[in-house]
Amino acid sequence: MKDLMGKAIWDYYNNLNPEDLQTETSISELDELPVDYLFRDFEEMNDIEQKALELSKGKVLDIGAGAGLHSVYLQNERNLDVTALDISPKSVEVCKLRGIKNTVCRDMLDFSGQTFDTVLLLMNGTGIFGSLTKIDTYLQKLYSLLDDNGQILIDSTDILYMFDRDEDGGVYVPAEGYYGELDYVVHYKGESEDPIKWLYLDFHTLKNAVENNGFKIEKVIQDEDAYLAKLTKK
C-alpha cells in the first residue's frame, strides 16, 4: 500500500506542499478531494457527522479515523475516551501529533482485546466492508468489539441515483453483482493506489445484513441519498 491518503494528510499537517487528492470509482470520473476537507471542525461537518458525534458516548472506537477530525472533537470537546484506528501509518502519526491519546495502526479485522460503548464508521463507513460477500465477516468483528449495551454508528449512501434511468423511471444497473460494489482509486502527486473494493449500501440491504448478524438497526437521520444508522445488539 502506497498510503497516498496518509501522505496527503501528512503533507497538509506539516505544510509540505500538499496537493488535492484525486479519487475515482468504476462508475465515476476523476474528482478532486481537497485535503483540508479531512481536517474540518464540527461546524463544517455535515448533518450526519454532527449527529453521530452528538450521539457518541462512553468509550469510543473511531474506525477509519483518517486525520482524526472526529476523534479530536470527541476527545477534546466531549471529553470522551477515544481510540483512533486506521490502516494508514501516516494518518495515525498525524492523529498522534494532533494529541489523540489512543491510536492504533491496524486493519480492524486484526484489532481485538477491547470492547467499546460506541463504534464509529463515518464518511461512508460501509465502504470498509468491500463487498457483500465480506459483510458478515465485518459485522461479526464489529459485534465482538461492542459492549452489550453499546452502539455502532455507521453511515452510507444509496448510489442508485448515479445510474441511468429510462423514460419509465427504470434504472439501468449492472447485471453482475450489487450496484453499490465499486472499485475506488486514490491519486496523489502523480502516484496512484491500486484499486480497492468499496461498498455503498442502501438502507434495506444493510438492514437485512445486520439483522442476520445479531443486531437491531435504526435509521437515525436521512440526508438526501445518505443516511446514518445505529446498530445495537439484539
pLDDT value of position 162: 78
β-strand partners of 188:
191
β-strand partners of 219:
229
Vertex 228, ends 225 and 230: CA angle to 5°?
A: 145
What does the radius of gyration of the chain's CA atoms come to, in whole angstroms? 18
Burial status of residue 69 (CB atoms within 10 A of its CB: 0-12, 13-18, 19 or more): buried
Maximal CA-CA distance, the chain = 55
Question: Residue 200 in 3-state DSSP?
Answer: coil
- pLDDT tens-digit profile, the chain (234 residues): 799 999 999 999 999 999 999 999 988 889 999 999 999 999 999 999 999 999 999 999 999 999 999 999 999 999 999 999 999 999 999 999 999 999 999 999 999 999 999 999 999 999 999 999 999 999 999 999 999 999 999 999 999 877 666 666 555 666 567 999 999 999 999 999 999 999 999 999 999 999 999 999 999 999 999 999 999 999
pLDDT value of position 23: 97
CATH number reported for the structural domain that contains residue 77 in this entry: 3.40.50.150
Cell numbers at residue 160, please?
A: 442508485
Report how far residue 24's alpha carbon sits from residue 192's, in angstroms, rounded to the nearest whole number.
Answer: 11
Could you say which DSSP state residue 163 is in? S
For the chain, the domain total comes to 1
Domain interval for residue 176: 4-233
Question: Residue 171 in 3-state DSSP?
Answer: strand
Give the type of residue at 121: L
pLDDT value of position 213: 98
Listed residue (211, 212, 207, 197) closest to 227, CA to CA: 207
pLDDT value of position 177: 76
